Structure 1
């Protein structure tokens, strides 16, 4: 049985087949609780469109008053840092424009998002399984 058996989330491209997913968490500046359901819904729409620009797909999105979680399926040519920073920049600009009355710029010092974020690769087999699969390859003598 091969490592790729049973998987259905592979991205075929010209010279590569990939299955890269990232889980990112982005928090508001100073962890201020600014989001409500309507703002999170709009933030998800914006995020989905930015992902399309990167030829990526937003698989899951949710959030609370002070942060959002993203699960993105992305091609290998995309740097996660560029994707997340673009998502933060575009969403901040649009959310501030569209919800000016709900975001107190004085509290946020002109920024919606913290400069930091969390990202971790995820999906596929656990590392121990991949390690074992590689170890068990038949090496020529």
Structure 2
């Protein structure tokens, strides 16, 4: 007798969050790589599968498969908390690092998933060419500015 799975979910999210006042606090490539690794490891520890991570000196984009048992706000609080602690420890007391309070979260269909991954992986190129998907670049801080 074959057992049937009770639940099946495919929740793919595109998350975006910014640095404090959109300051370019992630300008150093070593810090950037450290933050990406930290965020990916923490997301995976929370049961997520990271599909893409990228960003600019003032914000981060993350595409992941999200477990249905974890709220988006709790996940973002954890990712931002752990990564800001790592950034502050790495930078030392002479430098400032802080994430802005808000975030943006978009659910992705299977069709849009590959487009979002490509967009996130080529963030620097999109910004240099000013070929931005404005909806995916906005965070609460950019809306109030």
Q: Same fold (TM over 0.5)?
A: yes
State the structure with more CA Rg: 1
Deviation at 1:28, TM superposition (A): 0.2
1:39-63 CA-partner distances (Å, limit 9, x unpaired): 1111111111111221111110001
CA contact (8 A) 1:20 1:75 kept: yes
TM-score for both structures, normalised by structure 1: 0.70
Match of 2:99 among 113, 118, 137: 113
TM-score for both structures, normalised by structure 2: 0.68
Q: Which ranges of structure 2 fall in alignment gaps of 5 or more residues?
A: 113-145
Matched, 1:52 2:38: no
Higher strand share: 1
CA contact (8 A) 1:32 1:66 kept: yes
Q: Using a 3 Å threshold, how does the CA distance of structure 1 residues 17 and 81 change in structure 2: closer, same or farther?
A: same
CA contact (8 A) 1:62 1:69 kept: yes
Runs of 4+ in 1 over 4 A off after TM superposition: none
Structure 2 matches for 1:66-81, cutoff 5 A? 66-81=58-73
Deviation at 1:125, TM superposition (A): 5.1
Structure 2 matches for 1:1-141, cutoff 5 A? 15-35=6-26, 36-100=28-92, 104-105=95-96, 112-124=98-110
Higher helix share: 2
Q: Using a 3 Å threshold, how does the CA distance of structure 1 residues 63 and 125 change in structure 2: closer, same or farther?
A: closer
- Count of matched residue pairs: 107
1:11-57 CA-partner distances (Å, limit 9, x unpaired): xxx63111101111110001110112211111111111111221111
Q: Which ranges of structure 1 fall in alignment gaps of 5 or more residues?
A: 1-13, 106-110, 127-141
